[in-house]
């Protein structure tokens, strides 16, 4: 069983990548798309992100078996609500949002007559918009699916197989657990990057040109993350407020412990912490998640290098 008519609402990085990936890896399916922004619709048509870029969302979803919302987390309700009548009754509704509990609630409230199974491909870049998407984005990356209790098993299986066809490894999780895990592995690192880049450029005795000139080290990695889309990340933090604040509290305590170690000259504490984190990085690489390798993201590489 597979979806043969798929509609994508929002044709930026995620929507565009899904559209291109469907055409590449699921060529028998037909994909329609819609974006609120006319310029994005025009560019999406130029790049053939879908078979048909529609002038209205109603037209895009009219014959869909799967609708995927690929809009910023805060726009989900507004994008879904007007489509209650237009989405066919048997159609499965999903999304790709970076937080899950709030988005799942917004989608369920907006589309109470439909089966909704939220998802989150943990795959992206700092770029956004209709030029950012590419077909191989999901290859070898995780896609977390957060099915509601007692969901339609056939639809769930078909959604899992859909993401596997696009190259992802699928994991099922509760939305609450997803939000806690992603708060520490993705949301907090983005918050730290936004902070450190802002702090460096605010320093009065360090010029902007020095910040750029000497950013070859770790700081450069932070500037990539801190270039991520402001609308999306504002919405991520507001929609995953509780988990982010919980993790931020833990992080602040740990940072304070390191601050103290520096102040009192406790080299052993610093050395122990850095040894522990180095081992974590190395174990990630051994698991085949080495993002410094040029073939990172290729699932065949991931599988070959995974230790049994």
Ligand X SMILES: NC(=O)C1=CN([C@@H]2O[C@H](COP(=O)(O)OP(=O)(O)OC[C@H]3O[C@@H](n4cnc5c(N)ncnc54)[C@H](O)[C@@H]3O)[C@@H](O)[C@H]2O)C=CC1
Which residues of the shown chain bind ligand X in the complex (CB under 6 A)?
9-15, 35-37, 40, 70-73, 75, 78-79, 96-98, 120-121, 124-125, 128-129, 132, 229, 232, 236
Beta carbon of residue 130, minimum distance to ligand X (angstroms, whole number): 6
Q: Give the one entry of ligand X, ligand ENO, none that residue 248 binds, where binding means its C-beta sits below a cut-off of 5 to 8 angstroms depending on kind.
A: none
Q: Residue 141 or 155: which CB sits closer to ligand ENO? A: 141
Can you tell me the distance from the alpha carbon of 280 to that of 283, in angstroms, rounded to the nearest whole number? 5
Helix residue spans in the chain (DSSP H): 13-25, 38-46, 57-61, 76-80, 101-110, 153-165, 175-182, 188-202, 208-213, 218-226, 230-239, 241-264, 267-286, 299-305
Can you tell me the distance from the alpha carbon of 168 to that of 142, in angstroms, rounded to the nearest whole number? 5
DSSP reduced 3-state for 47: coil
Beta carbon of residue 120, minimum distance to ligand ENO (angstroms, whole number): 6
Can you tell me the distance from the alpha carbon of 40 to that of 202, in angstroms, rounded to the nearest whole number? 34
167 binds ligand ENO (CB under 6 A): no
15 binds ligand ENO (CB under 6 A): no
Q: Give the one entry of ligand X, ligand ENO, none that residue 193 binds, where binding means its C-beta sits below a cut-off of 5 to 8 angstroms depending on kind.
A: none
Q: Residue 13 or 26: which CB sits closer to ligand X? A: 13
Q: Give the one entry of ligand ENO, ligand X, none that residue 35 binds, where binding means its C-beta sits below a cut-off of 5 to 8 angstroms depending on kind.
A: ligand X
Q: Are 206 and 198 in contact, with CB atoms under 8 Å apart?
A: no
Beta carbon of residue 104, minimum distance to ligand X (angstroms, whole number): 12
Can you tell me the distance from the alpha carbon of 79 to that of 86, in angstroms, rounded to the nearest whole number? 12
Beta carbon of residue 232, minimum distance to ligand ENO (angstroms, whole number): 8
């Amino acid at each position: 069983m597979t979806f043969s008519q798929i509609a994508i609402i929002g044709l930026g990085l995620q929507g565009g990548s899904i559209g291109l990936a469907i055409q590449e890896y699921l060529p028998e399916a037909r994909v329609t798309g819609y974006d609120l922004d006319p310029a994005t619709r025009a560019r999406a048509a130029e790049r053939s992100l879908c078979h048909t870029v529609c002038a209205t969302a109603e037209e895009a979803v009219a014959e869909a078996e799967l609708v995927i919302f690929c809009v910023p987390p805060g726009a989900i309700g507004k994008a879904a609500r007007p489509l209650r009548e237009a989405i066919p009754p048997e159609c499965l509704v999903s999304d790709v949002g970076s937080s899950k509990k709030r988005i799942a609630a917004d989608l369920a409230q907006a589309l109470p007559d439909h089966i909704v199974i939220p998802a989150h491909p943990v795959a992206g870049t700092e770029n956004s918009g209709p030029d950012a998407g590419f077909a191989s984005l999901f290859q070898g990356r995780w896609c977390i699916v957060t099915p509601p209790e007692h969901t339609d098993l056939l639809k769930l299986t078909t959604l899992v197989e859909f993401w596997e066809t696009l190259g992802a490894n699928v994991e099922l999780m509760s939305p609450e657990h997803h939000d806690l895990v992603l708060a520490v592995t993705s949301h907090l690192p983005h918050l730290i990057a936004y902070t450190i880049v802002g702090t460096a450029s605010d320093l009065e005795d360090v010029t902007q040109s020095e910040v750029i000139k000497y950013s070859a080290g770790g700081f450069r990695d932070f500037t990539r993350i801190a270039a991520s889309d402001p609308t999306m990340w504002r919405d991520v933090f507001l929609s995953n407020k509780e988990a982010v604040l919980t993790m931020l509290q833990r992080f602040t305590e740990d940072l304070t412990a390191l601050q103290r170690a520096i102040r009192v000259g406790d080299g052993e504490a610093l050395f122990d912490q850095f040894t522990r984190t180095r081992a974590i990085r190395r174990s990630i690489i051994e698991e085949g998640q080495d993002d410094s390798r040029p073939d990172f993201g290729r699932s065949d590489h991931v599988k070959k290098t995974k230790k049994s």
